[in-house]
C-alpha cells in the first residue's frame, strides 16, 4: 500500500472484519471478567472463537497481495493473544484466589500463548514464501482451544459438577504446556469445524438451560 499520507495505515476490507470483531469481543470479555460477570465473559470468548474459525475462510475468497497476507497473519495472532491468551488468564485470576501462585500461572500461560503465536507467525510467513494454499497441520495445540475448554469448565462448575476452583489454573497449566509441545496436529477440515460448532452450540444450550 503506498504511503501517500491520505489513508489510515492498515487494511479495512471485508477480509479482516471478522478478525477485528473477534478482537473487540475478546477485549470486552476482559472487561467483563474484571467485573466478575463470568457468564458474559464466556459468551464473548466463544464469539471470539467463532470469528477466528471463519476469518481465514473469508480472507481466502479474495486475491490478496503479499503485504495483505502478512498483515492478516500478524493481526490474527495479535487478536488471538488477547482473545485466547489474556482473556482466559484474567478470567482464571478473577475466579480463583488472587494470590502470587495464581498470578505466576496466569502470566506463564499468557507467555506460552505469546511464544506459540510468534513462532506460528514466523513459520507461516516462511511457508507462504515457498508454498501456496493453506496450512495442513499445526505444530502445538492451537490457542483457540481455550474458546471451547473454559466455557465448558465454567458450565460444569455452574452445574455443580466441577466445583473445585483449582480446575481453572490446572487447565491453564495444561494448555500452556500443549501450546508449546512439538506435536503436529492436523488442521480441522469442514467435518472437524462442524464438530467444533456442534460442541459450541451444546455449550450455549447448556448455558441457557443451567445458567445460575
Q: Which residue has the cell 451444546?
A: 202
Sketch out the chain's domains with CATH numbers: 14-210 (1.20.120)
| Backbone phi, psi, residue 185, to 5° | -125, 125
pLDDT band for position 196 (cuts 50, 70, 90): confident
pTM above 0.85, yes or no: yes
Could you report the per-residue pLDDT of 155-187, keeping only the tens digit for each? 888 877 877 888 999 999 999 999 999 988 888
Mean of the per-residue pLDDT values of the chain:
87
pLDDT digit string, tens, across residues 49-94: 999 888 877 877 877 788 888 888 899 999 999 999 999 999 999 9
Look at the block and give the residue holding cell 467483563.
32
What is the sign of the dihedral through the CA atoms of 172, 143, 177 and 85? negative
Helix or strand run (H / E) with residue 184: strand 184-186
Amino acid at each position: 500500500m503506498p504511503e501517500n499520507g491520505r489513508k489510515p495505515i492498515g487494511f479495512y476490507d471485508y477480509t479482516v472484519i471478522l478478525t477485528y470483531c473477534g478482537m473487540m469481543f475478546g477485549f470486552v470479555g476482559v472487561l467483563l471478567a474484571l467485573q466478575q460477570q463470568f457468564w458474559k465473559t464466556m459468551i464473548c470468548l466463544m464469539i471470539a472463537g467463532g470469528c477466528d474459525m471463519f476469518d481465514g475462510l473469508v480472507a481466502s475468497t479474495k486475491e490478496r497481495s503479499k503485504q495483505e497476507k502478512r498483515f492478516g497473519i500478524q493481526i490474527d495472532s495479535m487478536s488471538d493473544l488477547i482473545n485466547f491468551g489474556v482473556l482466559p488468564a484474567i478470567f482464571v485470576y478473577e475466579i480463583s484466589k488472587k494470590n502470587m501462585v495464581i498470578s505466576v500461572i496466569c502470566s506463564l500461560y499468557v507467555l506460552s500463548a505469546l511464544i506459540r503465536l510468534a513462532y506460528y507467525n514466523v513459520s507461516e510467513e516462511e511457508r507462504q514464501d515457498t508454498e501456496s494454499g493453506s496450512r495442513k497441520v499445526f505444530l502445538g495445540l492451537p490457542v483457540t482451544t481455550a474458546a471451547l475448554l473454559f466455557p465448558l469448565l465454567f458450565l460444569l462448575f455452574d452445574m455443580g459438577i466441577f466445583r473445585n476452583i483449582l480446575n481453572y489454573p490446572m487447565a491453564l497449566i495444561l494448555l500452556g504446556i500443549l501450546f508449546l509441545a512439538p506435536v503436529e496436529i492436523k488442521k480441522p477440515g469442514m467435518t472437524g469445524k462442524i464438530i467444533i460448532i456442534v460442541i459450541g452450540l451444546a455449550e450455549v444450550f447448556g448455558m441457557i438451560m443451567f445458567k445460575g
